[in-house]
Amino acid sequence: MSNSQFYSKKVMEHFLKPRNYGRIENADAVGKVGDPSCGDVMWLYLKIKEKNGKYVIEEAKFETFGCAAAIASSSVATEIIKGKTIEEALKVSNKDILKELGGLPLVKVHCSLLAEDAIREAIYNFMRKKGLQIPEELEKRHEKIKARLDKTLEMHKKLGYVTGEN
Ligand code: FES
């Protein structure tokens, strides 16, 4: 994996032709996240089906208002989590995303973290809706993610941005 100051071929490919871009109407889970340091926001939509007592991610789509690295990270994240159980998806980290992308420039590593946040937040949203027992670690992560999103949206409001908040 490289940490060159340039985008890898794979990053450019996912940025120019993002996989699974768009919204899932009536999604079973939505993860909304934002990064107040740069103002980027991301929405991850999931369709989740119960199979043999496990919740499996059948479909994943995203909308990202952000930089090339954020778009490429979300695109790759949707590909990685499709077909995984929610427990497996919770273990996906930005390292997996970076590996798949062939690395990101150091100043852009936080963009892959935003995609990791989106996965955590979408699963949190699903567990909440289903009334499932939420692990303490995920609950704490949600609090941090929510605070960061609120800060980001507050910043957008001040600047007069419209970022499709739903
Ligand atoms: S610059 Fe912030 S997510 Fe890319």
Mean pLDDT for back-to-back runs of 10 residues, the chain (166 residues): 80 97 97 95 98 97 96 98 98 98 95 98 98 97 98 92 63
What the block records as the tokens of 98 is 């970076």
166 CB contacts (<8 Å, ≥6 apart)? 43
At 2 the pLDDT is 59
At 24 the pLDDT is 98
At 160 the pLDDT is 87
Terminal Cα distance for the chain, rounded = 36
Q: Choose one of 108, 117, 149, 151 to mutate for the ligand 1 pocket test, by most ligand atoms within 8 angstroms of C-beta.
A: 108
Q: Does the structural domain 9-159 have CATH classification 3.90.1010.10?
A: yes
How close is the Cα of 14 to the center of ligand 1, in Å? 15
Q: Which atom of ligand 1 is nearest to the CA of 39?
A: 2
At 3 the pLDDT is 61
CA dihedral (91, 76, 31, 21) in degrees, to 10, reads -160
| Residue 159: other Cβ atoms inside 10 A | 8
At 12 the pLDDT is 97
What the block records as the tokens of 97 is 């995303």
At 5 the pLDDT is 79
38 within ligand 1 shell (Cβ under 6 A):
yes
